[in-house]
Amino acid sequence: MDFIADLIDPLLGCFLIAGPLLLGRVKGTRSRPWIVWGASLLALALVYLLTFVDHYFRLWARFGLDFSTHTAVAVALITSLGILHRRWLFFLVPLLLFYAWLMLRLGYHSALDVMTAALITVPLTWLCHWLCRSRKDEL
């Protein structure tokens, strides 16, 4: 089960790389994948910045929690993919729930670790995409 848990974030990353290209071909439109990729990379950078800040200031540890970077990365990638194409959420949300269950089952994190990481990451990712989309006319 550990092997499966380790595969989820890289597979989501591959899907995020291919997703905008595939979607552009299927819909027959000229897409701008770099906007999606840029916003997603910004969200991931903020996740890792938050991880660093948490380790330095021990924010989650003050409440007996441990910030789940793996969950935050998965949530940022899934949120980005959901913003790209909402229908993908029908299989991505169950995948995220399975991933959270795996983390709990393997004893990596508590339910609160996973939930707080997700609750912080979703709006952070939305903000990154909003900022990048509002600037696309200037590119």
Check residue 137 and give its pLDDT: 53
pLDDT in tens, the chain (139 residues): 889 999 999 999 999 999 998 887 776 656 688 999 999 999 999 999 999 999 999 999 999 999 999 999 999 999 999 999 999 999 999 999 999 999 999 999 999 999 999 999 999 999 999 999 876 555 4
Domain boundaries, the chain: 2-138
Check residue 134 and give its pLDDT: 79
How far, in Å, CA of 50 to CA of 72, rounded? 10
Residue carrying the six token digits 């071909």: 25
Check residue 139 and give its pLDDT: 47
- Contact indicator for 67, 116 with CB cutoff of 8 Å: yes
Check residue 101 and give its pLDDT: 97
Q: How far apart are the first and last CA of the chain?
A: 44
pTM value?
0.92
Residue carrying the six token digits 């993919």: 81
